[in-house]
Structure 1
Amino acid sequence: MTLPLVDRLNVRADTAMPIYLQLEEQVAAMIADGTLGAGDTLPAERHLASALGLSRNTVQRVYAALRRRGLVMAHGRLGYVVQKPAAVSGINRLKGFTEEMMALGRRASSRVVESAVVTDRSIASIFGLPSETEFLHLVRERYGDGTPLAREVAWYNIEYCPSLAQADLSGSVYAHLASHGAALGHCEQSIEAAFPNAAESAVFGFTSPMPCLLIKRRSFDQKERMIEYVEGLFRGDAYTYRMTLEA
């Protein structure tokens, strides 16, 4: 990492989210986008607490939550280290593309095709907001190990995270949201079969249209505010969803 972990953490006083949860989500986002890789050592509880001006109990709570999520593991005198994720892609919990690729052992990358603040009456209706509401319109091509896997068209309600409009969004949008007090809590997602249009076929390198997966997602933060609406077209010959269902 270019900066130590403590310099990347942002404890906010202008949000109702508890401090331990802010830190948990920020560290989890760094693991998801590869800022923290498998085997990286996290600061000792006492050192991190001192550097952030927090109680040791708060940091202990953060590390305990990350351990329960399978993101870190205890490693003797080293304290906690980032754990290598299981190579399973699933839809039973909220993940972004970057985290999906990480779970599959692939390197995620993106090309931003369009990023602009716009008004759109149809999108405002999806969010249940007035037609004059401004959104960040983001179009990206997503790659796994350099192979084009998806084309995403997304809209974000920038009222809750204005910094998105100026951020570098070639990485994880979810990591940016988490580090700016708008960590996602849940989503409503649908998956259907679809054929790519000419522009999408060109991105995927198809000489003729092939079946793809169209994923539509509405994402909400932990205050139940709708933050994101995204439509992502994933190539069916190179992308698979797996999930575990419990009775």
Structure 2
Amino acid sequence: MTRPPNVLAKLRIQNDTALPMYRQLEHQFRTMIADGVLPPGATLPAERKLALDLGISRKTVQQCYEALRQQRMVSAHGRNGYIVEDGFRRIKPGMERLKGFTQEMQELGRVPSSRILERTIGEDRSIASIFGLSSTARFLRLVRVRMGDGIPLSVERAWYDLDIAPGLAEADLTGSVYDRLAECGAPLLECEQTIEAASPEPQECEIFGFSKPIPCLLIKRRSYGTDARLIEYVEGLFRGDTYAYRLHLRA
């Protein structure tokens, strides 16, 4: 076991927020684990002592530690307390080829899952202009929370041209949409992608468990099929405390 660093100085509890205290603690510990401040093998502060030092209830600390345990970031070891697991690392996916979130998580050894927040079919003038279509074109709009090992990693807003892939309208989209597109005869072959810094909105902070906005990565992607027609436009907000893209460049 590794002795924990002095994390008390890094912890902050806010009383002027609707986010529960245990969620505030959970987010801060999760960030320290992702950044290596709490390395694998480190023990978390004892429940009773941490509660006294922060002026909160022991139950609040217990709820925080249990949430971290359920996310497999720490494990319980009886009298030795909670120890940071060796399996958690900041996610560093490569960008050398086109792949969806589901495939990306599988390649990184994580279990992908999604929660659909919104699924609608209709017209959108601004989105139609991105696709180069008339204002009467019909799109599937899909808003999902994308998770790895049960941890919310991104909030994804995507639009799909139903003229090219009408089968998406009734398809099961809790898993890989890219697989569904292939089944509809509209596989994606290439994409254009941009990455920029962005600040999460209040709803996104709640999804990620942030007590206050922290920098995130906004990834915009235009994906094309066999005839070079735009099939998908997606804007994905990825949390900055657990996600970092890796590039391999050659001269």
Tell me whether 1:162 sits opposite 2:162 in the alignment. Answer: no
- Percent identity for Structure 1 against Structure 2: 60
Distance in 2 separating the partners of 1:191 and 1:212: 10
Distance in 2 separating the partners of 1:133 and 1:175: 23
Give the CA deviation at 1:131.
0.3
Distance in 1 separating the partners of 2:200 and 2:235: 13
- Pick from 179, 184, 190: which aligns with 1:186? 190
Kept in 2, the 8 Å contact 1:88–1:103? The answer is no
- Pick from 217, 238, 242: which aligns with 2:242? 238
The equivalent of 1:210 in structure 2 is 214
Distance in 2 separating the partners of 1:204 and 1:95: 23
The equivalent of 2:106 in structure 1 is 102
Give the CA deviation at 1:118.
1.2
Unaligned runs of 5+ in 2: 1-90
Kept in 1, the 8 Å contact 2:168–2:184? The answer is no
Tell me whether 1:176 sits opposite 2:180 in the alignment. Answer: yes
Give the CA deviation at 1:111.
0.4
Kept in 1, the 8 Å contact 2:94–2:245? The answer is yes
- The DSSP-based 3-state class of the residue aligned with 1:184 is coil
The equivalent of 2:119 in structure 1 is 115
- Pick from 139, 146, 165: which aligns with 2:143? 139
Residue type matched to 1:90 in 2? G
Give the CA deviation at 1:243.
1.9
Kept in 1, the 8 Å contact 2:92–2:243? The answer is no
Distance in 2 separating the partners of 1:185 and 1:205: 35
The equivalent of 1:81 in structure 2 is none
Q: Structure 1: which 4+ aligned runs deviate by more than 6 Å?
A: none
Distance in 2 separating the partners of 1:223 and 1:244: 29
Kept in 1, the 8 Å contact 2:117–2:145? The answer is yes
Unaligned runs of 5+ in 1: 1-86
- The DSSP-based 3-state class of the residue aligned with 1:183 is coil
Which of these two proteins has the greater Rg computed from alpha carbons? 2
Distance in 1 separating the partners of 2:105 and 2:96: 16
CA deviation profile, 1:47-102 (whole Å, cap 9, x unmatched): xxxxxxxxxxxxxxxxxxxxxxxxxxxxxxxxxxxxxxxx9721121111101101
Q: CA RMSD in A?
A: 1.1
Give the CA deviation at 1:246.
2.0
- Once the two structures are superposed, the pairs formed by residues 1-247 of structure 1 within 5 Å of their partners are 89-247=93-251
- The DSSP-based 3-state class of the residue aligned with 2:189 is strand
Distance in 1 separating the partners of 2:209 and 2:93: 24
